[in-house]
Structure 1
């Protein structure tokens, strides 16, 4: 099945992005009014407004009451966006565990400038309040809860997750949910339920190195998919691959993928779902960054757009938005519930009780929503400041992503640049980041790197980014 042609509002949005990238519309400039653009392009006002709202959600435009829409100063700087990935069209055996282990060891070293770890700063999270809740539960009912949790997890937490699922457009029952040790266990359970050693899994390219590590441990191959910084996975290219390559499952982010930070449009998501349905390929959905959106609305996950035609396994966690140390995630396995449950019982039997109860209590009121609004503002500002520091210090040829959510930046430098050599040199200067080749099963992206903006921005962080930029300039000038 071919991908659907873009809707007219998407065509208009692409046109505006092109004008911004070419300099016809500069940061801070007012764009034509909704009425003017609808008349010029013979569109309805509703269609033109839909395009502007979508660009606002992506952080490309900002609206000002009684004034109109303007090109965002924060989201678009002088550096271009990284190129669309064009990976090989054959599956690759994954061999990345050594590089991942080394990176994680350095990323956990708090004496280094923390640009390498995809975990928010404890100062941005609700650790103290959660810890008090956990301590109170332990003090009042410690003996009662010093037991194994039910296999699916604590009912109170599953109820709260199910209640929140309504906000994202996919209503779940508490019985649809199984609590896991973070999203990593959820993805591992999902992959084990749909694939056998030697099978091929389609993934974004570049993709999160933790997923690649999981594929390696499970003996699975990775088929890397062409991925754009704005639109995400190329659905038409995926359609051509599916006619040639047998694929056991597809693993994709709902939005703000790690490391690119893109979010697919709803029409592209529907096209992808239709394509996977045609080939009867299950989708494993990673929605771990969905709550950290900078636009008006949270992106709808694939599962909310499905009409019951696909086998979707939905995975998420609170590790990126609330409590990484609590290791609380969840999975909605759908048609694979029995297989996932069998693997959960074999791997870990159950998840710890007290962290589940503390998070359930935190979710009961409005505290989580208040917390999310605050960290969204902080993380968006962090990204803006980091982009400015990059543009002030990195080589002029650098390209940098402009995510509309999450807290990662993906940088692309000239082809001959060696980010692994920069990584080794940066460690000597007290800086840690993630070199690009760990985000590819075929060890591509040696000229790219990922920076995390998850820590409270201060002079120490800014100095680290600028020092890293000077090291990159020095490497290119050798």
Structure 2
């Protein structure tokens, strides 16, 4: 537990600096003072201060102690998006395929794909459980399950859901091939080709790809980088046109990182209930929160049962296992019909191993570690952007997940920047792939899903230099 306490102490000191209690140039509390006041050992206090020195929060002065480092003023958050007030056909598949090809190239600095690195996840215990299960019961699990998936896994997921939501039981759940299949099954259950789905703007490009494949239209809502969608815009679209469903992130929208407060979520649910429009929610980042409590998903706040809940373990522990799930409520029969027709069931052996993993309590221990690591990555990336990127760059401030959204002055086109970055051995996600209407040409998403090292910092520095060069050439 001591290893965790130094990181906890580092977060405490950072909060004092960010809140203005400790000002740049001021002397930090001495190691002896902070050790006494926070009831930690001197070794833990020193480890925390060394970490803060690495992050640029503190500076060590010989024979004098630690001081608060001078820092540039915080970057502004990205501006509220302003998509067109109309539904759009979606055509992003070609661009996304090319992006994913580059994002999987290990020779490139990995800022593009929102998939955590295997070394950061360190899912060794899960892998050992899979090997043991295969060795001891491989013949038993070399078969099909029912369409809903392994009952023990569904039971473990239902038990976890009790911590933040209403009581659900194994029969309420369907195990899916990642969150993507869960979202596709949900969309198929409530919409038909040509229907309109209301979404956040920007939103995850994989969702746009699914809308395109299902021949659905996207109505993009103005979205704030802190608190999510514009409620007035949602009210207008519901009042003026037929909407098959809304599809929103529960927490930590990809790419903005925004999370609606509970009061706003309740207002959304009330609006949708009045217009009898179902909500599909994507809660794939819900477990990666940096605060003291997990944000509650819409499902936990919805007494009417008008929400279809989708999630997976792909961002937290095992993207390669492809284990997701859906809680579809009254739409369950249609979800099962589509699941049976298209995939019948998921792979049985990984489900059995994951049930053992969850039942052992290892997942909670794992989550505590990766939350600290992702929070540290976000902090380091933000400071590197402050250091290397041109003034006028806006940066999101997520309180969970592991992606950052950057907004440049409009003269910088990130599709052109993307090509130049590839030549420099760097991959990121240009902003246009996060919109059905071709917006966000001056934005990009950076993934912080890999352990921070010198290679990543050099890549961020080169990317910042390319952005500065593009700005200089524009004459702005």
TM-score band w.r.t. shorter chain: 0.7 to 0.9
- Deviations 1:264-290 (CA, angstroms, capped at 9, x unpaired): 000000000000000000000100000
CA contact (8 A) 1:126 1:323 kept: no
SS in 1 for 2:119: helix
Higher-Rg structure is 2
Report the equivalent of 1:10.
none
Compute the displacement of 1:312 (Å). 1.1
Counterpart pick for 1:445 among 434, 437, 440: 440
Report the equivalent of 1:51.
none
- What TM-score do the two structures reach when normalised by structure 2? 0.85
C-alpha distance in structure 2 between counterparts of 1:170 and 1:447, whole Å: 41
Report the equivalent of 2:172.
176
C-alpha distance in structure 2 between counterparts of 1:138 and 1:179, whole Å: 20
Compute the displacement of 1:29 (Å). 1.5
C-alpha distance in structure 1 between counterparts of 2:443 and 2:79, whole Å: 11
Within-5 A mapping of 1:232-381: 232-308=228-304, 310-381=305-376
Report the equivalent of 1:107.
103
Report the equivalent of 1:150.
146
Report the equivalent of 1:416.
411
Counterpart pick for 2:381 among 383, 386, 392: 386
SS in 2 for 1:79: coil
Compute the displacement of 1:207 (Å). 0.2
C-alpha distance in structure 2 between counterparts of 1:454 and 1:398, whole Å: 21
C-alpha distance in structure 1 between counterparts of 2:145 and 2:260, whole Å: 37
Compute the displacement of 1:26 (Å). 7.5
SS in 2 for 1:252: strand
SS in 1 for 2:320: helix
Compute the displacement of 1:245 (Å). 2.1
Report the equivalent of 1:199.
195
- For this pair of structures, how many residues does the alignment match? 412
C-alpha distance in structure 1 between counterparts of 2:472 and 2:109, whole Å: 24
Matched, 1:464 2:459: yes
Report the equivalent of 2:35.
none
C-alpha distance in structure 1 between counterparts of 2:395 and 2:82, whole Å: 17
- What TM-score do the two structures reach when normalised by structure 1? 0.84
CA contact (8 A) 1:403 1:409 kept: yes
SS in 1 for 2:98: helix
Matched, 1:29 2:15: no
Compute the displacement of 1:323 (Å). 0.3
C-alpha distance in structure 2 between counterparts of 1:189 and 1:77, whole Å: 45
CA contact (8 A) 1:27 1:76 kept: no
Counterpart pick for 2:90 among 94, 113, 126: 94
CA contact (8 A) 1:79 1:400 kept: yes
CA contact (8 A) 1:266 1:300 kept: yes
CA RMSD in angstroms comes to 1.6
Report the equivalent of 2:120.
124
SS in 1 for 2:18: coil
Report the equivalent of 2:392.
397
CA contact (8 A) 1:182 1:328 kept: yes
- Deviations 1:226-269 (CA, angstroms, capped at 9, x unpaired): 11111111112210121122110000010001000011000000
C-alpha distance in structure 2 between counterparts of 1:127 and 1:374, whole Å: 12
SS in 2 for 1:444: coil
Report the equivalent of 2:471.
476
C-alpha distance in structure 1 between counterparts of 2:360 and 2:392, whole Å: 48
Structure 1 runs not aligned, ≥5 long: 1-24, 32-71
Compute the displacement of 1:76 (Å). 10
Compute the displacement of 1:435 (Å). 0.0
C-alpha distance in structure 1 between counterparts of 2:339 and 2:466, whole Å: 45
Compute the displacement of 1:77 (Å). 5.3
Counterpart pick for 1:138 among 134, 141, 144: 134
C-alpha distance in structure 2 between counterparts of 1:345 and 1:27, whole Å: 52
Deviation above 4 Å: which 4+ runs of structure 1? none
